Amino acid sequence: MQELAELIRSVPDFPRAGVMFRDVSPLLASAGGFARCIDALAEPWQGQGVQAVGGIEARGFIFGAALALRLQAGFVPLRKPGKLPPPVASVGYQLEYGSDRLEVQRDALKPGERVLLLDDVLATGGTLAAAAALVGQVGAELVGAGVVIELAVLGGRSRWPVELPLHSLLRY
C-alpha cells in the first residue's frame, strides 16, 4: 500500500484552513497505480457474489465502475438530488458542513441483489451511512463497502454497521 500512498497528494488548507485534503488525482493519472488500486479494492470481494457496485458521487463513480468491471458486476451510481430521472429513492444525511441527499433509480437495484458500496474517502461517515440506508430502502442486500482512503481521525467507521465488512486501502 505504500506504493499507492505515494500517489496521494496532500494539500494543506483545502478547501478551507485547517483541512488536509487527500487528492487522488495523481493516483488516477498513474495507469499502473490505478490498476493496482482496483486490484487491491477487488481482493476482499472476490468470490463473495457481488452483483452490483454502488459508486457514490463523484469520485466513487471512477473507482466503482472500474471495480464493478473487475468483479464482473453491474455498476449503479448513487447521485446527488436532481441528477437521475424518476422514479428515485432518496435518503438525507448530515455532513460536517451541512446536509445533503443521495438518490438511486428505484429499478437500478433488484430486491435481494448483493451490493457493494464504493467511495474514494471515508471521513465522518455520513455519506456512506446514507448510501447503506439507500440500498436497504430499495430492498437490495448490502454486503459491505470499500474506500480508497479512510480519514480515521474523523471516526467515520463508527457510523458503519459493525456486522458488515468495511475495507479501506489507506488510513490517515
**Catalytic residue list contains 43:** no
All domains of the chain in start order, with CATH? 44-171 (3.40.50.2020)
Residues in the chain: 172
Task: Give the tens place of pLDDT for each residue, 66-79.
Answer: 999 999 999 999 99
How much is the pLDDT for 118? Answer: 98
How much is the pLDDT for 95? Answer: 76
> Is 61 strand, coil or helix?
helix
pLDDT of 116 strictly over 90: yes
How much is the pLDDT for 98? Answer: 80
* Other Cβ atoms closer than 10 A to 130: 22
Q: Which of 25-39, 43-57, 64-78, 95-109 has the lowest mean pLDDT?
A: 95-109
Which of 36, 59, 101, 157 is labelled catalytic? 59
**Catalytic residue list contains 141:** no
- As a whole number of angstroms, the distance between CA 10 and CA 24 comes to 9
Provide φ and ψ at 146, rounded to 5°: -135, 150
Q: What is the pTM of this model?
A: 0.96
Average pLDDT, the chain: 96
CA distances from 140 to 7, 51, 145, 154 (A): 34, 10, 14, 29
Share of the chain above pLDDT 70, in %: 99
Which of 6, 79, 96, 141 is labelled catalytic? 96
Is the peptide bond preceding residue 12 cis, with omega within 30 degrees of 0?
Answer: no
**Residue 107 half-sphere exposure, CB side, CA atoms within 13 Å?**
3
CB contact at 8 A, 126 and 159: yes
Could you identify the residue written with the cell 463513480?
61
- As a whole number of angstroms, the distance between CA 64 and CA 80 comes to 16
